[in-house]
Chains A and B, each alone.
Chain A
């Protein structure tokens, strides 16, 4: 039955159960059973308003009260919160109308319709941003400096700030080097000043592209996208553990693949 359905929903909505409400509901409901709750509550308000005004106002008060304590957290400090809450309990019966007259902070305020998901989500994020901004999304981006590359002679390339980049990524230089050399398909080594010397001619943006791929594969946590991760080796497998969210995943081993023989062949 339609009216029973709606009653159930009402009970869920308003924690303190009011017997008068139930009566009113039963009287009023004559609608289509397929209508959803939001719509039904609105239409039923327009129906019932001329008939029993007093009940309706108290209903508004109830709804208000349910929202109020949470809202007051965002508006005031936490210390005031308890007092506010008590106040609500006191005046919600007599002066239900008065509370409705407050400022229109949320789109559903003042109206009897149910709030939709997007509005509630926006509200949660507003509160979160006010109270502790570091949790609400827009975190700082880790900025990597662009790779500095020098040419050594004509055939070799020196990656100057290789060590710095390894440090900002918190990765072992060996591991990064292995990946870089495997991707570039060349050979190379670290020199005396901890710079990476690679055989072949490469532009800075070549290195940048490969480092970008390295970061997505071996640095960034898949769950929370934070670069604050640790790469550890557990019996021959590499695991990536996130320091922020604690998630762990295994990462593929670096394979050099096929390297064709280039250059002069000595028979």
Chain B
């Protein structure tokens, strides 16, 4: 009998391994940034949440938890971004970890 040892090319994803590893550029990080406005006011932006989540509902909870206002902004390149009033970076990262939306090492807090 002839051993059929031919590898049939299937739908192989060459980047399947890379997605799991934490090499730079492969992982979907969540960036939490801060921006200064006039005076002592500031703005927190949350970028890179997974597409599956409903941004509006997350925002609603965030607003309720932190007692601040905010909205979802649609950016051309970066997709949807949550904006919140005030410096909420610590609280946002805590919230995302606690609700299980993101892991601690996926969240990157920028700013000072």
Residues in chain A within 8 A of chain B (CB atoms): 182-186, 200-203, 205-207, 209-210, 250-252, 257-260, 262-263
Contacts and interface: CB of A to CB of B under 8 A. Distances in A.
Interface in B87-112: 110-112
Interface of B: 24-25, 31, 33-38, 43, 45, 47, 73, 75, 78, 81, 83, 110-112
Secondary structure at the A interface, as helix, strand, loop or mixed, is loop
A200 B33 contact: no
Given A251-B24, A257-B110, A258-B81, 13 more contacts: A182-B110, A183-B110, A184-B111, A186-B36, A201-B36, A202-B112, A207-B112, A257-B45, A257-B47, A258-B31, A258-B75, A260-B45, A260-B83
A262 B35 contact: yes
A199 to B, nearest CB: 8
Greatest chain A CB density within 10 A among B31, B47, B112 is at B112
A259 to B, nearest CB: 7
Contacts of A201: 36
A201 B41 CA distance: 11
Contacts of A257: 31, 33, 45, 47, 78, 110
A41 B111 CA distance: 62
A243 B25 CA distance: 25
B73 A260 contact: yes
B83 A185 contact: no
A206 B43 CA distance: 16
Nearest to A205: B112
Nearest to A201: B36
Nearest to B75: A258
